[in-house]
Amino acid sequence: MRGLTKRYGDRTVVDGLTMEVAAGRVTGFLGPNGAGKSTTMRMILGLDRPTAGEALIGGRAYRELRYPLREVGALLDAKAVHPGRSARRHLLAMARSNGVPARRVDEVLAAVGLEQVAGRRAGTFSLGMGQRLGIAGALLGDPRVLLFDEPVNGLDPDGVLWVRRLMRSLADEGRTVFVSSHLMSEMQLTADRLVVIGRGRLLADAPVAEVIAASSGNSVRARSPRADELAGELAVRLGGDGVRVRRGAEGEVLVSGSTAERVGAAAHAAGLPLFELTAVQASLEEAYMELTGASVEYDAGAPVAERAGR
C-alpha cells in the first residue's frame, strides 16, 4: 500500500496508509471500530476505489489479475453467499468463474470440516459454519495471498484453535496472510507482525514483541517486608527518565520504566531485603489500548451504574 487514502465527502476513512505485508508470516491488522480496516481490505480487493494512492498485490492492482482467485483468497463477509445454494454449488460457481478444477471444491470442503453438510443450503448454516464456508472460498484457488476479516467470529473454541493453526500453516508454506481481528489474545498467539491503525492512520507496523515491549504496562514487581521504605528508596535511586514507582498489594512495589536488574541493584544498595523480583510483561491488549486510546471513535464512556454513582 502506497499512500492509500479513501474519503467520503469531507470524511477521511483511510488516510495515507503506506506499508508492506510480506510473505511467510501472519500479519495482524488491528484498530478500533471505524478505524478503516474493512475499507482498506476492500480497496486491496478492488471493491472500493481509492481517493488517492494504490494497493498492489505482487506489483499489480487486483483488477489486473486474470484469475484473481488463484492469486488472492479473501473472507470479508461470511454472509455474502446466496442462501438458496448449497455449500458445494456455491464453491463450484466460484471455481468455474476462475478456471479452478471442480475436484478442488471437495478438497476445501474437507479441509474446513464441511464435507458432511456440503449439500445443505448455505442459508441454513450457523454463523460458525458460514465462517468455515467463507474460509473454504478463500482457499479455493490455492492462492499465495490471503485476506481474512474477523475469521474466528462465531466459532467455538475448537474452531478458533483450528483457524489459528490454519493461519500459521499457511504462513509456514510461504504465503502472505493478512488477518484483522478484535481478539487481542488470539492475535498475540497467531500473528508475527502487527499493523495498527486508528482513524485511518498508521499507528504501528512492527513485530508483536516490539509492540508489547513499547507499552508502559511493562513493569517490575518487587516484594519486601519493608515495602514502604523500598518504594521511597527506589523513587530516589531510579526516579526520572520515565521511571514510575508505586505501591501495589500488601508488601508489593511496582516499578515501570526500569528493569529487574536495576531494581534489584537499587534494593541491594539500600540494604533492603527482597522476597520477590519479577518482570511483568504487558499483554497485547494493554499495548493495543495504549496505542489506540486517542483514536477510539465510538467511546461509550463509564458504565451507566458508575455514572449514577452506584
Structural domains of the chain, ranges and CATH numbers in brackets: 2-212 (3.40.50.300), 219-280 (3.30.70)
Name residues whose C-beta falls within 8 Å of residue 251's C-beta, 6 or more positions apart in sequence. Answer: 223, 224, 225, 227, 275
Predicted pLDDT at 303: 54
Predicted pLDDT at 297: 64
Q: What is the pLDDT of residues 199-257, one digit of tens each?
A: 999 999 999 999 998 887 889 999 999 999 999 999 999 987 778 999 988 999 999 88
Nearest one of 212, 203, 217, 182 to 295, comparing CA atoms: 203
Strand ranges across the sheet with 219-223: 244-247, 252-256, 219-223, 276-280
Give the whole-number percent of the chain exceeding pLDDT 90. 82
Q: Decide if pLDDT at 298 tops 60.
A: no
Separation CA 289–CA 231 (nearest Å): 28
Give the confidence band of 103 by pLDDT, cuts at 50, 70, 90. Answer: very high
Please give the mean pLDDT across all residues of the chain: 92
Separation CA 16–CA 14 (nearest Å): 7
Q: Decide if pLDDT at 310 tops 80.
A: no
